[in-house]
Amino acid sequence: MSQNINKASSSRFWYDPKVRSILFQLLFIGLLVFFISNIITNTTNNLEQRGITTGFDFLSQEAGFGIIQSLVEYDETHTFGKTFIVGLLNTALVAVLGVALSTVVGFLVGIGRLSSNWLVARLSTVYIEIFRNIPVLLQILFWYIAVLQVLPSPRQSITLGESIFLNLRGLYIPAPVFGEGSGIVLGAFVAACMAAFVLSHWAKQRQVKTGEVFPVFRVGLGLIVALPIVVWVVAGQPISLEMPVLKGFNFRGGITVMPELIALLLGLAFYTAAYIAENVRAGIEAISKGQREAAGALGLSEGRIMSLVIIPQAMRVVIPPLATNYMNLIKNSSLATAIGYPELVNVFMGTTLNQTGQAIEIIAMTMAVYLTMNLMVSLFMNWFNTRMALVER
Amino acid sequence: MHAEVEEKEKQSVSLKHMAGTETMIELRGVNKWYGDFHVLKDINLTVRKGERIVVCGPSGSGKSTMIRCINRLEEHQEGIIDVNGVTLTNDLKNIEHIRKDVGMVFQHFNLFPHLTVLENCTLAPIWVRKMPRKETEEIAMKYLERVKIPDQANKYPGQLSGGQQQRVAIARSLCMNPEVMLFDEPTSALDPEMIKEVLDVMIELAQEGMTMICVTHEMGFARTVANRVIFMDGGQIIEENAPEPFFNSPQSERTQLFLSQILSH
């Protein structure tokens, strides 16, 4: 027996798993370096042959084309670099609005699916099955072509209280105009938010001392809403609303939300919400019936059982797939190209690329944007998840 | 060892005289169906204050369902259930009121895994009894000491053994200062060496005069603690007697068969 072991230990060094693993890794790295350097030299050679200059100089050249929606000041005299910023911000706008809307709808539908109300449960199920099983591109096109483009013309706009108008050119909503002294109102809003924060802290302290539960949410919300309104009235209504008004064939004033943005937002949010709803349902169903019974047997009400026992445990099941859904929504926003919403892929990888021909630089920059955005979402959700995680042995 | 047995016997003698005359729980003509399946058939049972009832019977006989009806974890379709002077109806306030006074311990403990042992104990006193957190923590520590695990107060349930978890579950119920305790097979999911630590806590509780209804197959516990033993089969109460006559001279054939099966080894 001992002879055998001796034999083995004196055998050739590449039978040692450690040596082997190092050798294989060195080999792999070598191949990778060779492969990448080959691609780079090849590409630079090809580009030189065709007379295409590389580098990021084009970013400071004049763009010469307009973009229909921009969150920052932009016209055709601005640079290609600015088109990148405009596209990036438009993508970010859809991402933020989409994540918010899909979360709200997703949680409502997910909880609704478990409702004891037959109608609510069935409607939620139908919603999920429809929106989950149709390609998201088709849904975006549906909203754009089948819903928004058959809306009436501006003169026959659908209107809500003569201040919000919806027609085939988009959604028109009143815009706030900040007059002199509006800083006080904004200050009041910030102060109310801070007061609500202090209030919740105080309520917790009081609960510890006296046991009385203070309705923090209702009072806090009331404070945040009421205080700015009171200050606004007292300060002589410094913030006014600019109403959209029909002038000729179109509306002037107010904020215009273009139909492309509405279609993209509805398509992405409703599609993603169906997945989030299923995650929420799975999270709640993952909690054993015994938890609900034990909490009920202690005399806790239905609402408290949900908020103190079920939801905190369900969240740890819901959060990881939630991150995946948010990232999918951000990536899917590039489908806007199909309906002409001017987000990053459409503007920068579309028009700017066509105008400059700097394919490698532009595609690399665009990819880097999505990568960065999704890594940020991922980092945030991981942090959130560790906060909610369950302590085990 | 002998001393311990004598001690137990003394306890059991002293316990027999403790039940009061006041009615704590009354079930009159209770019937329950799961669809077509008739689970509880015309159950009549009166439990007086301080009384300790042990319910036994084969699985599927409706014993768990019966005690789960008492705090409305299950709904009964016919008959009347009175708990501490309140009649169970569909009124939510009514149900919450009864649940405040009725503690329950489950087979699978059902501790809240996201809360520490201490938080498990203080959750209901804070949110249902609306007591100051400080006070609830003091009460929780008092009961955790009584179930002999005060040193685990800041651990999470997942870090405890089964026996420890069940003792926390008992402490958690006691923190609500209940009038009645329901035990639904509290030792069935435990390893043999942990059963004793849980039964000891339950015996101690009985000595202090707690009204208890225990669904259990621990016949030693039934002999020591129970005022009455109830045998159920097929959704009916077949036999109801003090432990001595129940074990020594069971009346019905079904009871005899059941006892011979569980006591034979």
Asked if pLDDT for residue B159 goes beyond 50, the answer is yes
Which residue in A has a C-alpha nearest to residue B133's C-alpha?
A: A208
Claim to verify: residue A364 and residue A231 sit in the same structural domain:
no
Torsion angle of alpha carbons B104, B108, B112, B114, nearest 10°? Answer: 170
**Is A306 a domain residue?**
yes
SS3 B232: strand
Whether A271 and A304 map to the same domain: the answer is: yes
Give A23→chain B minimum CA distance, Å: 43
Residue A65 lies in a domain: no
Which residue type is seen at A316? R
Q: Which residues of A touch B133 (CB under 8 A)?
A: 207-208, 211
Regarding whether A274 and A159 lie in a shared domain, the answer is yes
Q: A338: burial class by Cβ within 10 Å (0-12, 13-18, 19+)?
A: middle
Any CB–CB contact under 8 A between A215 and chain B? no
Angle CA B175–B176–B181, to nearest 5: 95
Judgement on whether residues A234 and A194 belong to the same structural domain of the protein: yes
Can you state the angle between helices B162-174 and B192-207, rounded to 10 degrees? 20
B15: helix, strand or coil: helix
Q: Is A209 on the interface with B (CB under 8 A)?
A: yes
H or E element, residue B10:
helix B2-16
Task: Return the pLDDT at A131.
Answer: 96
Residue whose entry in the numeric block shows the structure tokens 């938010």: A193
In this complex, do A313 and B103 lie within 8 Å of one another by their Cβ atoms?
A: no
**Does A281 reside within a domain?**
yes
Confidence of residue B18 (pLDDT cuts 50, 70, 90): low
In this prediction, residue A1 carries a pLDDT of 47
Residues A200 and A316 in one domain: no
Where do the DSSP E strands lie in A168-216? 170-173, 175-178
- What token pair was written down for A165? 């108008």
* A290 vs B: CB within 8 A: yes
Please answer yes or no on whether A213 and B114 come within 8 Å at the CB atom: no
- ipTM score of complex: 0.88
Residue A130 maps to which CATH number? 1.10.3720.10
Range of the domain at A235: 175-242
A153/A299 same-domain check:
yes
Interhelix angle A311-332/A359-388, rounded to 10 degrees, is: 180
Cβ-Cβ contacts under 8 Å between A and B: the total is 85
B151: DSSP letter = G
A180 and A208: one domain? yes
Among A189-203, B104-118, B130-144, B230-244, the range scoring the smallest mean pLDDT is A189-203
Average pLDDT, chain B: 89
Tokens of A279: 């995650």
**One domain for residues A269 and A124:** yes
Retrieve residue A177's tokens: 């105009």
Instruction: Provide the number of structural domains found in chain A.
Output: 3
Same domain for A192 and A151 = no
Decide if A69 is inside a domain. no
Q: Please name the residue of chain A whose CA is at the shortest distance from the CA of residue B106.
A: A294
A163 and A295 fall within a common domain:
yes
In the prediction, which pLDDT does B64 show? 93
The rounded distance, in Å, linking the Cα atoms of A8 and A205 is 70
Residue A304 Cα, gap to closest chain B Cα (Å): 8
Q: pLDDT by residue for chain A (393 residues), tens digit each?
A: 445 555 555 567 778 888 889 999 999 999 999 999 999 899 888 888 887 777 888 888 888 888 888 888 888 889 999 999 999 999 999 999 999 999 999 999 998 998 888 999 999 999 999 999 999 999 999 999 998 888 888 888 888 877 888 888 888 888 888 877 778 888 888 888 898 889 888 888 887 777 677 778 888 888 888 888 888 888 877 777 888 888 777 787 778 888 999 999 999 999 999 999 999 999 999 998 999 999 999 999 888 898 899 988 998 889 889 999 999 999 999 999 999 999 999 999 999 999 888 888 899 999 999 999 999 999 999 888 888 776 554
Which of A211, A213, A296 lies closest to B99 in CB terms?
Answer: A296
**Residue A61 is assigned to a structural domain of this protein:** no
**What is the pLDDT at residue A329?**
96
A61 phi-psi bin (left φ>0, alpha ψ -120 to 50, beta other) = beta
Residues of chain B with C-beta less than 8 angstroms from the C-beta of A291: 110, 112
Q: Which DSSP symbol is given to B115? A: S
Tell me whether residues B96 and A293 touch, CB distance under 8 A.
no
CA A167 to chain centre: 26
pLDDT reading at B109 higher than 60: yes
Q: Which pLDDT score is estimated for B120?
A: 95
Nearest to A91 by CA among A338, A379, A355, A373: A373
Q: Which helix (H) or strand (E) holds B123?
A: helix B117-127
A309: number of Cβ within 10 Å: 23
In degrees and rounded to multiples of 5, residue A246 shows phi and psi of -75, 115
User: Is B99 close to A299, i.e. CB distance below 8 A?
Assistant: yes
Interfacial A residues in 57-96 facing B (CB < 8 Å): none
pLDDT single digits (tens) B27-51: 999 999 999 999 999 999 999 999 9
- Cα separation, B25 vs B49, whole angstroms: 8
B134/A299 Cβ within 8 A:
no
List, for residues A199-226, the tens digit of each pLDDT value.
888 888 887 777 677 778 888 888 888 8
Are the C-beta atoms of residues B130 and B90 closer than 8 Å to each other?
no
How do residues A25-72 score in pLDDT, each as one tens digit?
A: 999 999 999 999 999 899 888 888 887 777 888 888 888 888 888 888
A242, A273, A290: which is the final residue of a domain?
Answer: A242
Amino acid letter, B6: E
- Put residue B90 in one of left, alpha, beta given phi > 0 → left and psi -120 to 50 → alpha: alpha
Give the residue from chain B lying closest to A388, CA to CA: B114
How far apart are alpha carbons A289 and A103 in whole angstroms? 26
B154: contact with A, CB 8 A cutoff = no
User: Are both A96 and A200 inside the same structural domain?
Assistant: no
Q: Does A59 reside within a domain?
A: no
Q: Summarize the confidence of residues B176-193 as an average pLDDT.
A: 92
A364 and A279: one domain?
A: yes
> Does residue B188 have a pLDDT over 70?
yes
**How confident is the model at residue B53, as a pLDDT?**
94
CA distance B137 to B156: 16
Residue A183 lies in a domain: yes
Residue A73: inside a domain, yes or no? no
